[in-house]
Amino acid sequence: MKRRVIILLALALVCAGQCAANSRLDDAFAGAQKIDLRTCDVSSVVILRDKVGIPPPSATVLVKVFERDKLPSVLESSFAREGVAGVTINGRYIAILKTQLRDEYTDVLRHELVHAYITLASPAPLPLWFQEGSAVYYSMGKDRKFYGQAVEERPGTMVGRTVELPESYKQQLQTFKYLLQTVGEKDFNAWYKQAVITGVVDPKPLLGLASQEKPTHKASRKRSAKWLFGLLAGAIAVVMVIAYFSSRYDRNYS
């Protein structure tokens, strides 16, 4: 009984903290662009919705561009690591650092909208390898990319930079490409859709291997305890998925 009271108190505290964090996020995202995933025409969303066939979540996603030196305090820690170009918080809030390179902005937006889409569409938190593999695969789609464009005010001048993925992201992208090449697009898409809408992302059955997940009564009880713990931890920490782009070097052409 005593234990139940402690759990209820902890939950109340967590909820209060969560409400405060959400209201700070709502303040930071005042005036943000509102995106409806059911009608959005950004390419990564179109693929997930129309090609893979994952029913689009109805929640509105807020997208806002911030300047690095004018970040609201609620976002500072998300951008503390060097190379982070965008973050998606709770699948609902997307913050993107201002860049003058249009194509870079588009790729970051594509990347973050994948996080938002699959986070909102899944009944359970998706593991990091699946989140980042998805986001990288459906946005940049390769290890490194050069973004360049002409400077309008200075004819004949180009500005650009090369963005290279961190090693962990490269590996996750490789995993996705390997799965796709091994089983083909049709089977891959069917598995991917099921993975997102069930939250079960084990790729072994897709590859014809025995799944590790054999739900027994004991295992499912253990899983629900784990789930509660995960919920508490998640609520305290504010679930965030960080788009981590590392820039190799800046380039100017004249």
Binding site for Zn ion (CB under 5 A): 132, 135, 243
Q: Minimum distance from CB of 241 to Zn ion (Å)?
A: 5
Q: Minimum distance from CB of 61 to Zn ion (Å)?
A: 15
Nearest CB to Zn ion, comparing residues 147 and 245 = 245
CB of 98 within 8 A of CB of 66? yes
Q: Minimum distance from CB of 127 to Zn ion (Å)?
A: 13
Nearest CB to Zn ion, comparing residues 157 and 171 = 171
Nearest CB to Zn ion, comparing residues 104 and 132 = 132
Q: Minimum distance from CB of 115 to Zn ion (Å)?
A: 6
CB of 88 within 8 A of CB of 79? no
Q: Minimum distance from CB of 176 to Zn ion (Å)?
A: 13
Tokens coding 60: 């509105």
CB of 41 within 8 A of CB of 113? no
Nearest CB to Zn ion, comparing residues 52 and 135 = 135
Q: Minimum distance from CB of 247 to Zn ion (Å)?
A: 15
Nearest CB to Zn ion, comparing residues 35 and 135 = 135
Nearest CB to Zn ion, comparing residues 144 and 221 = 144
Q: Minimum distance from CB of 87 to Zn ion (Å)?
A: 8
> Which residue is nearest to Zn ion, using beta carbons?
243
Nearest CB to Zn ion, comparing residues 35 and 243 = 243
DSSP codes, the chain: -HHHHHHHHHHHHHHHHHHHHHHHHHHHTTTPEEEETTT---HHHHIIIIIS-PPPP-SEEEEEEE-GGG--HHHHGGG-STTEEEEEETTTEEEEE--S-HHHHHHHHHHHHHHHHHHHH-SSPPPHHHHHHHHHHTTT-SSEEEEEEE-TTSTT-EEEEEEE--HHHHHHHHHHHHHHHHH-HHHHHHHHHHHHHHS----TGGGTPPPS----HHHHHHHHHHHHHHHHHHHHH--EEEEE-EEEEEEEE-
